Structure 1
Amino acid sequence: MGRIWDYVYWRLPVGKRQFFDKANNLLEKADSLKQILESGVKNSYNHRNELYNQMSGKIDGLANEVRRLHEENARLERIITHYHKQDMQMFWQEYRKDGESTVDAQKRFFLALPKTQGVNRNLQLLEKDLLKAFVRICDEHQLFYWLYAGTLLGAVRHKGFIPWDDDIDTCMAREDIDKLREILKDNQEYRLTVRYDAWGFCKQIRFTYKDSTVPVFIDVFPFDWISEATYEKWEGNQRVKRELKSELTDESNPLIREFRKAGCVDADSTIGVQVSKIFDKYFNKLREKNVVCDKKDAKGCLYSFDSWSYCDDRNIIAKDNFYPLKKIEFEGDKYYVPNNYIYILEELYGYDFYTFPCGEPHFVHADWKKNEKILEEEVKKRIK
């Protein structure tokens, strides 16, 4: 166990750090050269062409070097992944009991992993408390949700949180999110926050406590309905996403300059209200182009264009892989998951999701340690 984790988490991150350090240095050099070029243009028009030719050649050389580093990084990742798989095969052979299949050994291993402790566990307990409230409200108003991404993986593999996870991922159809937001307008305990992210080109939708001093939330990712679960629908969604990104990076527009300066804005803020109109415009375009449709006409679901996601074509899901929803255990209670949840996990994580990840450790969403006291106090107050 120690040898495998030492191999994966010692070698791979170091290689990535070396790669990114070198790439950043090259980009800094390119920025420096660009500044020299701009200065030359301002000071001497006659000298501009000469400087431009000199600097362009150097910048092209740096760009080629960055490209070469990307290729080398990809090659090293393939090598590390290859040896990681070999190590894992050996590990599972040694871990298996007599007569036990590899899959059963893997299931036994992950179910036996201890839960996290301290600040991370307090965070998870509060997120579980939020999830219960979220589900209760959805059930009362006949809104459909399902566990997704790392939370779905945790439910299947651990019957609860992945020990090193620090968030909860849920999904809802876009129209149900709109209804939920309206329902929670006057709620005294909970709220649904909607923020626009200028750098992620997306909406952040989160269910959280009304008390904004408690830094805990669960993500609610929107799904859209599509008339056919095809690559053409996904590509139509991608085209609109690219158009949205193009407009959100056009700093000739004063609104966009302000938006990007702010980084993230509430949907109800002055900037947020204007930005929401841009997002609505592109969603309407999806409807006009018949990329998305109403639920009654749908044969598939698609991770929405305004979600924080690379939105690759693995997110084209036939409707009957989602519906009817079913319930499985998560942290001692049962919650809705997609009908064919194993297929969903294989699409998201590959066929070997019952094994150790090969790559960098889990992404940490915030510095939870600085909120350790708040989380501890809230657990005492809220968790019975």
Structure 2
Amino acid sequence: MKTSVAESAEDLSLLFPDNRREGETVLRQAQLVMLRMLRVIDHICRKHGIRYWLCSGTLLGAVRYKGFIPWDDDLDISMMREDYEKFLRIAPSELPVDLFLQTRESDPDYDYLPLPCKLRDLNSLIIALGQENKKYARGLFVDIFPMDRYHKKHHPAYLFERAVKWCNNFICRGLDAEFYKHQSRKSLFLSFFKPLFYILKRLYDKMARRKIEANKSLTDDNCLIGRGLDIIWYEFFAYDEIFPLTETEFEGSFYYAPHNKAAYLTRFYGKNYMTPPPVEKRHPGHSVVLKPILEKD
């Protein structure tokens, strides 16, 4: 018997009930919202053979605390490009009705250029610095980073790929100076040339799409894995630092993680990644407004 979209989504709502009100603080309530989203993602990915792994501060929290970093207000996962594209095709029809897969296609107002996809909770609100006036959906989220294959460092194409990513960073700063202005006065100056940057961005996206497709043919033993050409960040990893994936404990359950977690985290945070920052720096870093519960009228 064929299962309808509504039945599938309703099943996940029952399988992963909303427990945000169990949190004793606003931050813990927000973490419970994000944890539920991760559980939904994990379920869909395992069901359909989609590879993902915890990354960034979420992976650091798993290794250091077996859960969230106590003061963290976001959650990050990565997917290889082919898995990411499969997830975009499948997830919208299986997500609970209170979750929304946000891309530039599904949300025309979504203009956060550094990252092409977030899974959003529709019953909460988080506003980051520089995003106070945005019109796109702004519920609590899970960041989903597509990962691409790159040539190894000794290959001439590697320098070209690095230059391409630098160009994307430059273009994004010119197009979204409101977000970047707290980071750099240069970004505010670049905003005067915004019409030119729109043209450059369209050209860049076409070129990046061709490069992404071409690099899919790189073999596992002859490539680096890095954040996508459509993402501004630069970290690169050896294939065997990520694959085969392992599992790691996070908030009482097990989720996929890179094969060599130590190498992965050292690349992000340095060799002392297990040492917490000073007390004065232990505070949420992504939100100026955080409302995990929106009371209905």
Q: With structure 1 as the length reference, what TM-score do the two structures score?
A: 0.53
Alignment of 1:31-50 (within 5 A): none
Instruction: Encode CA deviations 1:11-56: one digit per residue, 9 max, x unaligned.
Output: xxxxxxxxxxxxxxxxxxxxxxxxxxxxxxxxxxxxxxxxxxxxxx
Within the candidate set 141, 145, 161, 1:217 is matched to 141
Within the candidate set 255, 276, 281, 1:335 is matched to 255
Structure 1 residues 168, 247: closer, same or farther in 2, change over 3 A? closer
- Given that residues 26 and 292 in structure 2 are in contact (C-alpha distance below 8 angstroms), is that contact kept between their aligned partners in structure 1? yes
Instruction: Encode CA deviations 1:206-248: one digit per residue, 9 max, x unaligned.
Output: 1124668782110011111134365855532221123335556
1:304 aligns with 2:225: no
Structure 1 residues 333, 233: closer, same or farther in 2, change over 3 A? farther
Opposite residue 260 of structure 2, the aligned amino acid is: N
- Given that residues 229 and 301 in structure 1 are in contact (C-alpha distance below 8 angstroms), is that contact kept between their aligned partners in structure 2? no
* Offset, 1:186: 3.4
Corresponding residue for 1:172? 79
Within the candidate set 97, 103, 119, 1:194 is matched to 103
Structure 1 residues 287, 328: closer, same or farther in 2, change over 3 A? closer
Structure 1 residues 242, 142: closer, same or farther in 2, change over 3 A? same
- Secondary structure of the 1:366 match is coil
Opposite residue 217 of structure 2, the aligned amino acid is: D
Alignment of 1:363-374 (within 5 A): 364-369=285-290, 371=291, 373-374=293-294
* Offset, 1:287: 5.2
Corresponding residue for 1:119? 26
* Offset, 1:324: 0.5
Opposite residue 216 of structure 2, the aligned amino acid is: C
Gap regions ≥5 residues in structure 2: 1-22, 126-137, 175-189
Looking at CA atoms only, which structure, 1 or 2, has the larger radius of gyration?
1
- Given that residues 321 and 338 in structure 1 are in contact (C-alpha distance below 8 angstroms), is that contact kept between their aligned partners in structure 2? yes
Count of residues in correspondence between the two structures:
237
Alignment of 1:252-331 (within 5 A): 254=195, 256=197, 277-284=202-209, 286=211, 292-294=215-217, 296-297=219-220, 298-309=222-233, 311=234, 315-331=235-251
Please, what is the CA RMSD of the aligned residues? 3.4
- Given that residues 103 and 110 in structure 2 are in contact (C-alpha distance below 8 angstroms), is that contact kept between their aligned partners in structure 1? no
Structure 1 residues 165, 336: closer, same or farther in 2, change over 3 A? same
Opposite residue 262 of structure 2, the aligned amino acid is: I
Structure 1 residues 236, 333: closer, same or farther in 2, change over 3 A? same
Instruction: Encode CA deviations 1:120-148: one digit per residue, 9 max, x unaligned.
Output: 00000110000000111111111100000
- Given that residues 124 and 293 in structure 2 are in contact (C-alpha distance below 8 angstroms), is that contact kept between their aligned partners in structure 1? no
* Offset, 1:316: 2.2
* Offset, 1:197: 7.7
Structure 1 residues 287, 372: closer, same or farther in 2, change over 3 A? closer
- Secondary structure of the 1:155 match is helix
Gap regions ≥5 residues in structure 1: 1-115, 260-273, 379-384
